[in-house]
Amino acid sequence: MRAKYSIIFFVVVVTAISFYPGKRISAQQILPPLKEVFKKDFLIGTALNSMQIYEKDAGPVKLIPQQFNAVTAENVMKAAEIHPQWNVYQFEMADKLMDYAARYRMKVNGHTLVWHSQLPVFVQHMKDADSVMRFFVDHINTVVGRYKGRIYSWDVVNEALEEDGTLRRSIFLETLGEDYIVNAFRLAQKADPKAKLYYNDYNIEQPLKRAGVIALVKKIQAAGVRIDGIGIQGHWRYDAVPLQYIEESIRAFSSLGLETMITELDLSVLPGPWESNEADINKTARWNERMNPWPDALPDTVAQIQAKAYASLFILLLKYNQQVSRITFWGVNDGQSWLNDWPIKGRTNYPLLFDRIFLPKHAFYSVIETRRK
């Protein structure tokens, strides 16, 4: 029944666009909803910025609730935003996000409780373990406690591993020791026993870093603390999606009793300044004309390759739809993507399913088509 439904929508949309090329925006109203096409497989999520949460950006007002059934805050739940001073919490934007999600019946993933980046200024240079611990405990208890029973899941700890699978030399590791991750999950579990608890990181499909995640999970589980899943961020290049490693990771995490999510999905079409795949926001590179090959528009040939890459990824994830519980795109459209300014500021990237005026790209249709196979 679903396949028939998807095919009908697909034909209608393609026909509308073919006959009315100058009015493609009207076709948005009859797009097949991603959340419906993959309803029996996994949640389809997106990251929202402040303008979108307030619904002040006219382009995605209808598109977001039409297409997605899960949301993650791009920034407003990070510690620097929500907890700027010792005894000061700013919940206005996070509350708006919760209200937005409730209005459109979307599940919210809280992002993120413990992360070495985007920390409040008052925390960044702390050397005293007691002070860091006080912040650590108060932050988790207060933020998780506020949304207890309303939030679906939390990225409890974010990006705590180096590329070789060892623990990152963060302020938390240096002041609180190796058990800080176990303690973070213990605190979050106590603050909201019903929320799903996840570890989130980039490149953890790669064998060395994956081994670090597995060791971390086993340590948490051995301590009698709950961890429900692993978020693979999915910041990949359109011509180098590591499908084999992703599949191996899904199997490995599943063997530990864990869900897998693809949590921050985007497929960059621009050349990278480094040989390795990076997603550390603290690393940047200088401007170079060659690193911004398509400032005005994405060539159709490149868009088609990107579409095939998205399709290959979704075909794999559908194979494991009992193990993969959510796919979240890191942004609604190309113009919103963080990859326009990272790692080189001012570039024009095209990593998502919708273009800068919220029209579907080849990649959108290629993803829809995977449900027919």
Q: Do 230 and 204 touch, CB atoms closer than 8 A?
A: yes
Give the number of other CB atoms < 10 A from CB of residue 276: 8
Among the listed residues 159, 162, 174, 247, the single catalytic one is 159
Would residue 264 show up in a list of annotated catalytic residues for this protein? yes
* Calpha distance 1→10 (Å, rounded): 14
Show the 3-state SS of 136-169. HHHHHHHHHHHCCCCCCEEEEEECCECCCCCECC
Would residue 162 show up in a list of annotated catalytic residues for this protein? no
In the chain, what is the straight-line distance between the N-terminal and C-terminal CA atoms, in Å? 13
Q: Do 217 and 199 touch, CB atoms closer than 8 A?
A: yes
Q: Do 37 and 314 touch, CB atoms closer than 8 A?
A: no
* Calpha distance 104→81 (Å, rounded): 24
* Calpha distance 30→106 (Å, rounded): 20
Among the listed residues 74, 205, 259, 264, the single catalytic one is 264
Paired tokens of 349: 């990237």
* Calpha distance 168→162 (Å, rounded): 5
What is the residue whose two structure tokens read 């907890």?
A: 83
- Active site positions, annotated: 159, 264
